[in-house]
Structure 1
């Protein structure tokens, strides 16, 4: 099965009426798409009351891709607010329980930062993460191209297969060391993740501290039909070896993610059942 959705549900204004309150957006989002990436979990481990609400707001077949907390992926380089890593990982796993109990957890996404390069220390840390996450489905996405350079590419893929990692295949600007190429390879026969970041090289390389609006340009990109047709062929090929595929559009600096996701759904000829009922307008 191919599931198409977006990263986050709060900023996709084309899906919502102007008077829709933020607390009601997820319920409305789930009338359009069957899956979403939860980004709030990256910035802070979420209290169970939040996850319980999100489970309640979505239909039975809805699924969440939950982004791993930044302290677990090395994005947070200051002191983490936990006594040690074991306590941090356990707190994160506890926050997932409502998703698990409702059978709404698709996977946890470990997206590592651009400075997380291919070396022995980091390979060992990946083993540690896999051990700490027990049998939970976890996906792996790199942001440093050393993992897929000629020297390490096959070893990286083999390592992911042997350790049960779900491959997060990224479409992103080719902007040097801090980006990775498209590597359409299945590493876990149960599931494959695809994240569509856009191809805005200027926005991708813009320093985060250059101004306060780096998010407004980093993912400023609208995929054209030819690019989406290229991805149709890749997805269909990947589906031969992967039971489920989740495609998430993250190109929303200009509000293009939802439109591209719906266009891609149309290109693939997919109609989803079991979505939430859409809000009814005045007429």
Structure 2
């Protein structure tokens, strides 16, 4: 099956009425899409009550892609609120219990930073992460192009297959070492993840400044029909290699992700069953 959704559910204003409360948005989101990426888990290991609430508010066949905590992927530069890595991984795995018990956990996404390059120490750390996550389905997203250089591309894909990593295929700006090319290859027969980051080269590389929020420009991009048609062919090909393909649009700095996700659903001719009832905007 091909699941199409977006990253997060709070900021996609085209889906909600202006009067809708933040706490009601996930229920409404579930009437539009069958899958979502949980971003809050990247910034802090979430209390179990949050996942319990989110599971309760979504349809039976809804799926969550949960982003790994930033301390697990080397993003966090300050103090980590755990004494050991083992404690950190254990706490994160415990936070997944509600998704797992409800059969709604699609996978955990490990997105590594641009400085996580292809070298022995990092390969060993990937093995450690996989071991710590046990049987939990885990996806791997790189942000450093060395993993898919001509010297390492095939070995990277073989490693992911051997170790049991789901490939997070990316569409993103081609902006040097801190980005990866499109590599539409499945490494797991059950699932493949596709993340659509947009193609804003300037925003991707623009550093933080005193008057500009980097997150407000990095994903500022709207895919046109021709670009989505390119991905239509790639998705059908990936669907022949993986039972499920999850496509998440992350190009939301300008609010374009939800619209592009719906455009892509239409291009693929997909109509989802079992979505939540849509609220009526009468007042």
Query: What TM-score, normalized to structure 1?
Result: 0.99
RMSD of equivalent CA atoms: 0.9
SS of alignment partner, residue 208 of structure 1: coil
User: Once the 2 structures are TM-superposed, how far is the Cα of residue 209 of structure 1 from its aligned partner?
Assistant: 4.2
User: Once the 2 structures are TM-superposed, how far is the Cα of residue 277 of structure 1 from its aligned partner?
Assistant: 0.4
SS of alignment partner, residue 31 of structure 1: coil
Tell me the distance in 2 between the aligned counterparts of 1:110 and 1:89: 12
Structure-2 residue corresponding to 1:227: 227
Tell me the distance in 2 between the aligned counterparts of 1:272 and 1:32: 9
User: Structure 1 stretches of 5 or more lacking a match?
Assistant: none
**Which runs of structure 2 are paired with 1:234-273 in the superposition (5 Å)?**
234-273=234-273
User: Once the 2 structures are TM-superposed, how far is the Cα of residue 212 of structure 1 from its aligned partner?
Assistant: 4.2
User: Once the 2 structures are TM-superposed, how far is the Cα of residue 214 of structure 1 from its aligned partner?
Assistant: 1.3
Tell me the distance in 2 between the aligned counterparts of 1:127 and 1:208: 33
Tell me the distance in 2 between the aligned counterparts of 1:244 and 1:58: 19
Tell me the distance in 1 between the aligned counterparts of 2:222 and 2:212: 22
Structure-2 residue corresponding to 1:118: 118
**Which runs of structure 2 are paired with 1:6-21 in the superposition (5 Å)?**
6-21=6-21
User: Once the 2 structures are TM-superposed, how far is the Cα of residue 79 of structure 1 from its aligned partner?
Assistant: 2.4
Tell me the distance in 2 between the aligned counterparts of 1:134 and 1:67: 16
User: Structure 2 stretches of 5 or more lacking a match?
Assistant: none
User: Once the 2 structures are TM-superposed, how far is the Cα of residue 210 of structure 1 from its aligned partner?
Assistant: 5.4
**Which runs of structure 2 are paired with 1:78-93 in the superposition (5 Å)?**
78-93=78-93
Give the paired residue count. 283
Are 2:47 and 1:47 equivalent residues in the alignment? yes
Q: Deviations over 1:192-219 (max 9, x none)?
A: 0000000000000011345442111100
Q: Deviations over 1:112-151 (max 9, x none)?
A: 0000000000000000000000000000000000000011
Structure-2 residue corresponding to 1:174: 174
Q: Deviations over 1:40-93 (max 9, x none)?
A: 000000001111100011010000000000000000122211010000000000
Q: Deviations over 1:167-197 (max 9, x none)?
A: 0000000000000000000000000000000
SS of alignment partner, residue 10 of structure 2: coil
Tell me the distance in 2 between the aligned counterparts of 1:24 and 1:160: 38
Structure-1 residue corresponding to 2:135: 135
Structure-2 residue corresponding to 1:98: 98
Tell me the distance in 2 between the aligned counterparts of 1:201 and 1:258: 21
Query: What TM-score, normalized to structure 2?
Result: 0.99
SS of alignment partner, residue 178 of structure 2: coil
Structure-2 residue corresponding to 1:152: 152
Structure-2 residue corresponding to 1:189: 189
SS of alignment partner, residue 177 of structure 1: helix
Following TM superposition, where does structure 1 have runs of at least 4 consecutive aligned residues deviating by more than 4 angstroms?
none
Tell me the distance in 2 between the aligned counterparts of 1:163 and 1:210: 42
User: Once the 2 structures are TM-superposed, how far is the Cα of residue 265 of structure 1 from its aligned partner?
Assistant: 0.2
